[in-house]
Amino acid sequence: MPAHKFIDRWRDSAAAERANYALFLSELCDYLEVPRPDPAVADATRNNYVFERPVTFRHPTGLSSPGFIDLYKRGCFVLEAKQGSPAPEPSLLFEIPHRRGTAVRDTPGWDQAMLRARNQAEQYAKALPANEGWPPFLIVVDVGYSIELFADFSGTGKAYVPFPDSLTHRIRLEHLATQLVRDRLRAIWLDPLSLDPSRISARVTRDVAGHLAALARSLEQDYPPEAVTPFLMRCIFTCFAEDIHLLPPHSFSHLLASLREDLPNFQPMVESLWRTMDTGGHSPILRKVILRFNGGLFESVEALPLNRQQFEILALAAAAEWKDVEPAIFGTLLERALDPRERHGLGAHYTPRAYVERLVIPTIVEPLRQDWADVQAAALTLDRAGKTADAIAVLTAFRQRLCSIEILDPACGSGNFLYVALEHLKRLEAEVNDALESLGETQQALRETGHTVDPHQLKGIELNPRAAAITDLVL
């Protein structure tokens, strides 16, 4: 079905969840070119892709109760469907009965209803048999209006967060005309783990790490590790800055391209760029005004002269999609910079993200998210009772707590554990900010408090001073 036909067909549907949800989702499957759900059978363990999948809730009292997942696909998602309604036209308010469905769309009540549906989906996922595991996705659908995505690729069910982020996790009906959105939904149906950012990062990171290791080995033949490591760190950070638009897009890559046949000028021109990055202002090298990078990385701007082979390796690394590179790659540089005899004693090695999260999620993320669920419930109750100011106060207090938590890694190496902990804290902070915004607190007001989750909350102890410097850069 062409996009416009599917969108036009469902645009006016409203306030009839039970009547519409199975038809909508079946036609959505056709539109995405994925199989429709299977017919349910008597043996629930064989119902791996069905509507109304039965589950059993186990209560602390020892009692149990039945539940039914609107749409379930094993290893992929739990889907909870609702259907809201548009606000009635004033002229019709007193002329005909008006069905509101779940809630009037795009009102605070609707946001809260969608949040309750998300929490309900998580409870369904929790009630699944243990041998089926936690699905990587929770999906909340307002039939014919929006689709919200939440993901937890850790397999623990403890950290479902908006996917891909808190700004774009809600897909409106008209967004289904976008190829990127269709591809994302199709992947959730067919191969959800392909969307795991850590897998993408791991693949890109391995490729880039190979280039950097080769460059480090080559440079260490002529220079001591104490000179090689900070030079490569500045190069790497410049690549990151370019790809996330802290520097003008492609500026560093274009600079390297212009120097390919002018290698003697590589050192002075790169040093000039880094000198401007340290102070901010107009860069004669890029012919642009650039930001001030005030973390101390560019207090020294020493660049090493490169031969042809070294330059080509750096240019190849710079061409990578650095926004997809795990910051933990700096651990690879640390390994290259340390003497082999030191590496074993210091435990300096690249720890895969999955291993990091096995520690970070149960010790830091899970307790905070349990508290966050309680805070959300309290804020919703207060707001429904007309006590919006009190609801805001409850959310603000939790946000203050998030911004004051301190985390210590007593053997931090290059900062992998601290980086992952910080990322999870920032994701949770974004959810709190969204909840505050739904109650009328603007992002500008939140920024003006000057209080936010930041690297000052992360503490580390490390024997090697270069490792500590790399941790600073990672964070």
- pLDDT, tens only, 241-298: 999 999 999 999 999 999 999 999 999 999 999 999 999 999 999 999 999 997 788 9
Q: Among 97, 70, 71, 72, which residue's Cα sits nearest to residue 85?
A: 97
Sign of the alpha-carbon torsion through 350, 354, 359, 360: positive
**Measured between alpha carbons, how far is residue 439 from residues 6, 27, 142, 150, 394 in Å?**
33, 35, 21, 21, 12
Residue 324 has pLDDT above 90, yes or no: no
Of the two residues 292 and 3, the one the predictor is more confident about is: 292
Both 179 and 206 in one domain: the answer is: no
Determine how β-strand 170-172 pairs with β-strand 161-162: unpaired
Both 297 and 423 in one domain: the answer is: no
The pLDDT mean for the chain works out to 87
Q: How far apart are the first and last CA of the chain?
A: 47
What was the pLDDT predicted at 31?
95
Q: Give residue-wise pLDDT tens across range 344-381.
A: 555 555 567 778 888 999 999 999 999 998 999 899 88
Residue 340 has pLDDT above 60, yes or no: no
Task: Find out whether 304 and 324 touch, Cβ atoms under 8 Å.
Answer: no
Segments forming the whole domain that contains residue 206 = 198-325
Rounded to whole angstroms, the Cα distance separating 230 from 472 reads: 12
Q: Percent of the chain scored above 70 by pLDDT?
A: 91
Task: Find out whether 304 and 231 touch, Cβ atoms under 8 Å.
Answer: yes
- Find residue 172's DSSP bridge partners: 146
Angle at 142 between CA 136 and CA 146, to 5 degrees: 75
> Considering the domain boundaries, does residue 267 fall inside one?
yes
What was the pLDDT predicted at 336?
58
Both 140 and 257 in one domain: the answer is: no
Both 63 and 177 in one domain: the answer is: yes
Identify the H or E element spanning 288: strand 288-290
Rounded to whole angstroms, the Cα distance separating 307 from 263 reads: 7
Both 305 and 233 in one domain: the answer is: yes
Both 378 and 390 in one domain: the answer is: yes
Both 161 and 284 in one domain: the answer is: no
Task: Find out whether 144 and 20 touch, Cβ atoms under 8 Å.
Answer: yes
Rounded to whole angstroms, the Cα distance separating 427 from 420 reads: 11
> Considering the domain boundaries, does residue 124 fall inside one?
yes
> Considering the domain boundaries, does residue 283 fall inside one?
yes
Q: Among 199, 187, 200, which residue's Cα sits nearest to residue 75?
A: 187
> Considering the domain boundaries, does residue 340 fall inside one?
no
Contacts with 106 (C-beta within 8 Å, 6 or more apart), sequence order: none
Of the two residues 156 and 173, the one the predictor is more confident about is: 173
Rounded to whole angstroms, the Cα distance separating 126 from 158 reads: 10
Both 31 and 157 in one domain: the answer is: yes
Rounded (10°) CA dihedral 237, 239, 242, 243: -110
Both 140 and 9 in one domain: the answer is: yes
Both 177 and 292 in one domain: the answer is: no
Both 139 and 281 in one domain: the answer is: no
Of the two residues 375 and 94, the one the predictor is more confident about is: 375
Residue 434 has pLDDT above 70, yes or no: yes
Q: Among 255, 261, 253, which residue's Cα sits nearest to residue 319?
A: 253
What was the pLDDT predicted at 259?
95
Tokens of 283: 């860069």
**Measured between alpha carbons, how far is residue 432 from residues 394, 443, 464 in Å?**
11, 11, 37
User: How many residues make up the chain in this entry?
Assistant: 475
- Among 180, 195, 210, which residue terminates a domain? 195
**Measured between alpha carbons, how far is residue 98 from residues 91, 92, 176, 294, 429 in Å?**
12, 8, 28, 58, 38
The label of the residue with tokens 């520690």 reads: 359
Rounded to whole angstroms, the Cα distance separating 378 from 158 reads: 20
Both 260 and 243 in one domain: the answer is: yes
- Among 169, 195, 221, which residue terminates a domain? 195
> Considering the domain boundaries, does residue 342 fall inside one?
no
> Considering the domain boundaries, does residue 106 fall inside one?
yes
Residue 301 has pLDDT above 60, yes or no: yes
- Find residue 281's DSSP bridge partners: 290
> Considering the domain boundaries, does residue 242 fall inside one?
yes
Domain total for the chain?
Answer: 3
Angle at 344 between CA 228 and CA 349, to 5 degrees: 60
* DSSP character at residue 363: I
pLDDT band for position 194 (cuts 50, 70, 90): very high
What was the pLDDT predicted at 80?
96
Backbone angles phi, psi at 451, to 5 degrees: -115, 120
Q: Percent of the chain scored above 90 by pLDDT?
A: 54
Question: Of the ranges 49-58, 329-338, 349-358, 430-439, which is most confident?
Answer: 49-58
> Considering the domain boundaries, does residue 278 fall inside one?
yes
pTM for the model stands at: 0.74
- Among 307, 325, 343, which residue terminates a domain? 325
Question: Would you tell me how many other CB atoms lie within 10 Å of the CB of residue 307?
Answer: 11
Going through 74-117 in order, the beta strands assigned E by DSSP cover: 77-82
